[in-house]
Structure 1
Amino acid sequence: MTKKTIVFTGGGSAGHVTPNIAIINELDQSKWDIKYIGSKKGIEKELIEKRNIPYYSIRSGKLRRYIDKENIIDMFRVIKGCQEARSVLKKLKPSLVFSKGGFVSVPVIIAARSLGIPIFIHESDMTPGLANKISQRFSTRIFTSFEETRKYFPSAKTTVIGSPIRKEILAGSAEKGRAMLDFTRKLPVLTIMGGSLGAKKINDSVRGSLNELTKDYQIVHLCGKGNLDENLTGVNGYKQFEYVNEELADILAATDMVITRGGSNAIFEFLALHIPMIIIPLTKKQSRGDQILNAQSFEEKGFALKLEEEDLTEVSLKKALDTLKKRRNDYVEMMKSSKESSALDILVKEINEYQ
């Protein structure tokens, strides 16, 4: 049987890549020839190439919502990226292009449309990023994580499915996680995740109240690259890591509560794992405000508590944790009753069945 080719694109952050990897892992490679188009130096290049997936680099300009002289330079980079993407797509002749957004996806989608190649896009956040705002007009099908996002896209080609979750993240062992961390069953496990670069204010608030927190919790602190505090090495009930990879599934299986940023992929993974969360979203000074809206939605649905970074102190963090701990069972029950569908299975099915 002749294989069909599918091209994935998306990059700029891990959040634009890991959902693509989740889908790639579920596709039957006896039926699909999988390729990836990304930027020359983005995080997607490293994440994809180490999985031995053929990777094609193109130029990519940053998409800005504000006036900047760099916009002129980046416009030419986007044009060049479109030309390069068109050349790659003409050679690969894919049956479908799947995009998770990010700057690099726009030239790929424009090129695919010019060649008549069907295009699927998925938007993770409550409000669409600029890349997907541009890409929607060229797309064949649009999928979203949130019901609230539907209004930003043409209704006839938009389907709400949730966020595609890596299946390996659901297969962790709590016993292995506690053993690796040298934790016991006596106290609940609290995991703190501030993103790949960490979050200084979250790190400082946790460490400033560590003496109090370790009375009630065993703490796993994923503090971000370069953010380890050597003075805290060996503190009983506290384990800090810059980041973890293969061990993450086991750590999350052992986790009772989590403090997290408001990125869509992460919070949907915690929802799937039924881990109640305190979401401390990026501020509007740091982002376009999408994490604030994600956090608000999850709080309204009874999956999380939202704590604004501007309000974050050692006192407010401890108070939020006490509230979450007291109502933990209620949050777990709300998560278990969630009607969020299996986005990964739906996307794989849609890709396999698309003619």
Structure 2
Amino acid sequence: MPSTQRKKIVFTGGGSAGHVSVNLALIPSMQERGFETYYIGSHSGIEAGLIAGLPNVPYTGISTGKLRRYLDMENLKDPFRIIKGVAEAHRAIRTLKPDIVFSKGGFVSVPVVLAASLNRVPVIIHESDITPGLANRIALPFARKVCVTFPEAARHVKNGKAVHVGAIVRDELFSGSAARGRAFCGLSAGKPIMVCMGGSLGSAKLNRVIRNNLEKLLPHFQIVHLCGKGQTDPGLDKKGYAQFEYITEQLPDVLAAADLVVSRAGSNSIFEFLALNKPMLLIPLSKAASRGDQLLNAESFRSAGYADVLLEEDITDIRFVHAVQQLYHNRGEIKARMKSHDNQASLRTVLELIMQTVR
């Protein structure tokens, strides 16, 4: 007699919103297919807050170590945190008995992938950037398949594991209301809106250049500034300028109201802007502050005609204001190119890959 027991999937990934957004897109679809959905993340990372708002997704917090590329005394403690995290994840997976683990990356995913391998649970990894991050590079040998967003990324994944799926964009982003977005931010309908964001963790350099040039920009644009945790300026109160640490529930509405976006070049975010046809000025993290993945992402989008790029080391107040004005002037041509991009098949491709692996 065939078993009627429901299939189970464990999601993992965190440290930044980009390491959670793909999971947020997949979870409702897996639930619609009858899967029990679970999440393993850090105790207090951004993923804990983002997943908390989802129905029927029990959350397990584990110890994590941050995989740093620089010298820090915390590096001495991190191996012990990772070992503890592997033990906690191993215990959780043995209890849950999932049929598959889906990992979006970030340092919290490493213990979960290792624990899944120890329990002989198949793992699928998703890599958003052209080159894999450190966490995913560690996890690659333990994965059955690696979903890549950029076709160029496949050459960085060995043993035929790479599957080009394109960008996965959350359905709720398409349900935004520009009117609701303007009302939420206290802005009007008669003036262009520029959304500025430095990623879920914020960017001190972007925050500074935006605030330095408010007097020059506000005559032409209304500005929604997503500053990052603890980086708002309570003393800065100007008409047409709205600042927030981070927006989650109202983000679809705010993006619907946006005429252009100024952003870092994290893969998940820029593909969301592309899907929404939002012209963007990308200011990628420099190679001094990262492995250079955002530089590659930004160049790919610039070459495709989806974005203008201003390198962090080239930023001056004059260049920044000029770049924003030029982007707005060219917005019609950029939006026309964006509309030719099709990403609707990406979610279906990943879902089918998960189903095939489980079967």
- TM-score normalised according to structure 1 size: 0.92
Q: Per the alignment, in what secondary structure is the counterpart of residue 28 of structure 1?
A: helix
Matched, 1:78 2:82: yes
Alignment partner, residue 199 of structure 2? 195
Of the three residues 308, 322, 333, the one matched with 2:325 is 322
Contact 2:31 2:37 in 1 (8 A): no
CA distance in 2, matches of 1:212, 1:146: 37
Alignment partner, residue 87 of structure 1? 91
Aligned in 2, Cα 1:44/1:236: closer, same or farther, shift over 3 Å? closer
Matched, 1:160 2:186: no
Alignment partner, residue 96 of structure 1? 100
Matched, 1:131 2:135: yes
CA distance in 1, matches of 2:108, 2:19: 10
CA distance in 2, matches of 1:24, 1:300: 33
CA distance in 2, matches of 1:337, 1:155: 33
Q: Which moved more, 1:263-272 or 1:22-31?
A: 22-31
Alignment partner, residue 32 of structure 1? 35
Alignment partner, residue 237 of structure 1? 240
Aligned in 2, Cα 1:178/1:83: closer, same or farther, shift over 3 Å? closer
Q: How much has 1:341 moved relative to structure 2?
A: 4.9
Contact 1:142 1:157 in 2 (8 A): yes
Deviations, residues 153-205 of structure 1 (Å, cap 9, x unaligned):
02622111223211111110112223333434432211111223432222222
Aligned in 2, Cα 1:246/1:82: closer, same or farther, shift over 3 Å? closer
Of the three residues 7, 15, 19, the one matched with 1:16 is 19
Alignment partner, residue 222 of structure 1? 226
The amino acid across from 1:175 in the alignment is A
The amino acid across from 1:135 in the alignment is A
What is the alpha-carbon root mean square deviation over aligned residues? 2.2
| Equivalent residues in 2 for 1:305-344, closer than 5 Å | 305-344=308-347
- TM-score normalised according to structure 2 size: 0.91
Alignment partner, residue 141 of structure 1? 145
Contact 2:16 2:200 in 1 (8 A): no
Q: How many residues are paired up?
A: 354
Q: Which moved more, 1:144-153 or 1:198-207?
A: 198-207
Aligned in 2, Cα 1:228/1:55: closer, same or farther, shift over 3 Å? closer
Identity of aligned residues (%): 47
Q: How much has 1:14 moved relative to structure 2?
A: 2.0
Q: How much has 1:309 moved relative to structure 2?
A: 1.5
CA distance in 2, matches of 1:250, 1:108: 34
The list of structure 1 runs, each at least 4 consecutive aligned residues, that deviate by more than 6 angstroms after superposition, is none
| Equivalent residues in 2 for 1:42-81, closer than 5 Å | 42-52=45-55, 53-65=57-69, 71=75, 73-81=77-85
Of the three residues 268, 271, 275, the one matched with 2:278 is 275
Aligned in 2, Cα 1:77/1:208: closer, same or farther, shift over 3 Å? closer
CA distance in 2, matches of 1:44, 1:247: 17
Matched, 1:212 2:237: no
